[in-house]
Structure 1
Amino acid sequence: MMRKIIHVDMDAFYASIEMRDDPQLKNVPLVISRNPQHTNGRGVVATANYIARSFGIHSAMSAQEALKLCPDAHFKQPDFPKYKKVSHQIHEIFHEYTDKIEPVAFDEAYLDVTENKPRIEDPVALAHKMQQEIYDKVHLTCSTGISYNKFLAKLASDYCKPIGLTVVSKEDVLDFLFPMPIEKFRGVGKKTAIKMRQLGINNGEDLYSWKEIDLISQFGKMGHILFQRVRGIDDRPVEWQRERKSIGSERTFDQPLKSIEQVDEQLHLTAIRLVNELKKQQKHGKTIVIKVRNSNFETITKRLTFDDYLNNQTDTLEYYGRQLFDEIQNIDIDVRLLGLTITNLDPLDFENIKLQL
């Protein structure tokens, strides 16, 4: 209850960057995605500006569906290197206030400001100051949620967008959560939400009325978590010193790969990118994972773990990547997405030492 947590969520981040850089896009329904008219209907919406959202367009929607909802939408190819650069600028601003920062994505992060660098006691005043500085320096807006834990801060940042600031104190918890639609509770996906509504759990107040043992019997471990969350309980700290668990590289293709020669070429390029990132992060690992998605959006992953660390060499990762690929798909090749990841990471100066006993 003593923590002061701020969740910062940039407003329509990718779209806002594009509108900032090209003011002509400010007054049109802008969708950040490949244009489905140029890709035979393929593509997924990364985000959309608020004009496009008024038509029902949202992230993770197929670009084809977005076009049907708004035939006049302007589609803009995502520029992730640019978005990453802007995200880095915003994180530099965060570090002026605290080093206890848990990034969630390019456009959002948790900040623990219980003790902060400017020594501002009031988290509302601190959030206002930070919002203004972000706007002054990168010309983008954000919404902030302030509370004593991560769960409530996340819900609060989404409560009043764009350019919102919402505070949830201990005294406000039930008033805030009771009318909340059950789908808003983190961990409640589409299937779980359907089951909950069938059980008569439509909002936070309905959830609060259930006994913990009954929620566990229906939803397992998630039942215990939801029992706590609807009571404003979330003891998770802001994980600002967590170790990176994996390093990977993947690519989605406009036209699916249809031959093993195409797959080999892309595995080679993926391995190059992955090796460069491993060297940059000064890491190596014992497990290699391949990820393959086909034109039906079915995703398969397969992994291989070794006793010793894999060499950070392109031909090594490419070789084992091909082995794993052959176990997944060696006939009727259809690859929309291909990726390689190294997990089980340790610093490069950490090695296994074999002793002759």
Structure 2
Amino acid sequence: MVDNALQPVSGVAVNWSWSASGMQNASTTDTNGVFKIPLNITADHELGNFTMTFEFPGSPLLKGSRVVQDFWVVSRTHINLVHAECAEVNVCESGDLWEFTAQVTDDNRTPSIKDIGAALDGAGENGGKVQVIFEGIDFDNVYHRQVVAELNPNAGIIHYERVLNPQLLIDDPASFLPDGFGPVNIILRFEENLPHEGCPVLEDYQLSLQGAWDPCIAIPSNDHFRRVLSHNVDGFSLIGRTSLLVDEQIVYTSEIDQNTGEVIEKPMVITGQLRDELDHILLNRQIRVFYEMQGSSQGPVSCVPGTTNFEGNFSIVCPLSGVLAGQA
């Protein structure tokens, strides 16, 4: 407590009362004008908004003052994943259904332990909203996020399912997978609904930020009410079927140098193109080729690896040293 000159007022009694229980008492300021309140919030304390009133009745030299301070007694909301899968795996193809089910509960009066408490229900005071955010990674390792659903728990349960369609993802200007395919992380994010602790409101622009985009990660123990389903664990990767179009050609294993008359061995060059199931060319993809001459005891021979160019075409060089005429 300070006076109007901002100097500490020491040795005076400050009356206080706690609205939750009606408790009343007085505390005395120390030499720095500081007073302390022995308030104990027990594990079975009622949740909600309460007030504490502080009052200095005044003295011959100081006028009295009164302050009312709001306090929230909150529960640390808990999201418990029941299951998340795409045909019992985390690798999906076009037309597959990906789904998840989770429980949304209070903290069971044990805020530091991730255990299941009382179920939250609806959108009101005893419920809340869980945002389902898909975070896809494109072919250039850029993150794209989209809020695909906002769910209110029903008797503590939330459920979401989606049929995966690469062409629709490409056509969607706000898509989480603009290339149609790729890994997808899922963020389940409970938005604060006091007395149930959660994440602050997420602004639209924050979804497009790279790096630390969600202010919720700065809240201690946010992993109780903000769950990340990684693409290689509980999330999924949407993969496409590919078509490898290889050109047929006749290969001459050698020719004669017109000047020296020596035999010049020539390599086999395999050419072709790589496309996905939507008939889009796939560039910068590694191509490996092995060949084996029929009737040969040499076994498979590895060619020099190559990658597709900007048109999806590839050209792989295969050495043919010591190979006689025949079929591979």
On whether the aligned pair clears a TM of 0.5, the verdict is no
Greater strand share, structure number: 2
| More relative contact order, 1 or 2 (CA 8 Å, 6+ apart) | 1
Structure 2-normalised TM-score?
A: 0.21
Greater helix share, structure number: 1
